[in-house]
Structure 1
């Protein structure tokens, strides 16, 4: 990406002049910072309203992350980063991109949860060297949970003699 940005800056600089190219880069950085600040404050106000109503500001959190990325892109010198930053600053495109990202993240969270059929502790050892195994399962995959009491005394259980 940096190589493409530099090549584009050099190409544009050769066409319109170096100082004009630098001026455009600086102007887009200032304009981008202004719009990121404006949209960020608007998003923060919406998030605070939702929290006061007892709701989770999920969309506003996604918007805030995208605005932070947009801010970094907008102040990074280059035309491609500016275009990507503008797409993240504009509410219409930000919501479209956010919906796509959320859909992708939901799919990744569901498909890569990291738990196997025996549960999260299957095959792990506890501090005493015992193995955790998944509990009895119903055919639909539910785990029955329960408690137990170790009724052995210290004479028959060598771990308790320490």
Structure 2
């Protein structure tokens, strides 16, 4: 499927099986799994669709229902929500934190993973109640942050975990 377009191409298309605005392309395609139709939503500059879902058959029960403005706007909203949820999940996976109560007060320990293909790593950072950084250490990307591991790092004087 060739739905992506170059960055300088901003052609608005409104055809029965292809709609494009400044950011999104909706393309009705033959569903390879059965006799029905599907619609693929691709964000400008991306090679893969953000959303692929079933599409309604037309009145003749052979061809797809044509795209229209209302359907396109609904598809844009749905595809945008899929991307937003994906970004939230990725952020939650790469950025974690716990809080530990110590004699000096509450310490927030954060783990920020850098998913580099060649050399992934993570940064462990401690902040006091005022949000001031009190320690930082580089750790392996596989480091497991928990209240127990954070407390051990703090009790060890913020040395190499």
> TM-score, normalised on structure 2?
0.31
**Structure possessing the higher radius of gyration over alpha carbons:** 1
More helix by share: 1
- Relative to its length, the structure with more strand (as a share) is 2
Higher RCO (Cα < 8 Å, 6 or more apart)? 1
